[in-house]
Amino acid sequence: MRTRIIASLLSAFAVLLLSACGGAILYKADLPHNITIKPTTESVTTSLAIYSVDRDCKTTYQGSVKLDNQPVELGIATGKPAYLVVNFTSSSFWRSSTGSTSSATVLVPRQGFRYLIDVHYVKGIYNVSYYEVERKTNKRRELETVGLSSCHK
């Protein structure tokens, strides 16, 4: 009886792990790092999904990066729009429930600038802030989030 319960729990855990990873492609680009993500999260799984945006405003999934309370450096092409989506997913094994929320923006990185994304999810409250930092002066300005609906054909 006890073995059966342990086997059931392990099976359920394996299903949760597989469903959480399903279809995710690790983002990999050989571009110079121009984005730093600084996550501060608790009790959620957090990731950043990166999409390219074409002239017709269609997105193409490029991959995802898992965010684990450590700074992450990555590079995306300058002069081309990218759709960045920060996903927060929480799950409760004991209550058999999951929940998710996200924050997204269109970003067109400029030459001579780097970008900082502050990601916070603490005590059920999330905030994502985007900054553009001039490389020469280190002057930083906060960027407004830009929805995909602002893309003009």
Write the pLDDT tens digit of every residue in 60-113.
Answer: 999 999 999 999 999 999 999 999 999 999 876 555 556 788 999 999 999 999
Give me the residues paired with residue 38 across strands: 118
Any domain includes 117: yes
Any domain includes 19: no
Any domain includes 16: no
Any domain includes 18: no
Q: What is the pLDDT of residue 96?
A: 58
Any domain includes 40: yes
Q: Which domain holds residue 100?
A: 24-148
Q: What is the CATH number of the domain that holds 143?
A: 2.60.40.180
Any domain includes 39: yes
Question: How many structural domains are present in the chain?
Answer: 1
| Element of type H or E holding 38 | strand 35-41
Any domain includes 44: yes
In 32-151, DSSP assigns E strands to 35-41, 45-53, 59-67, 72-74, 82-92, 97-107, 113-122, 125-134, 140-143
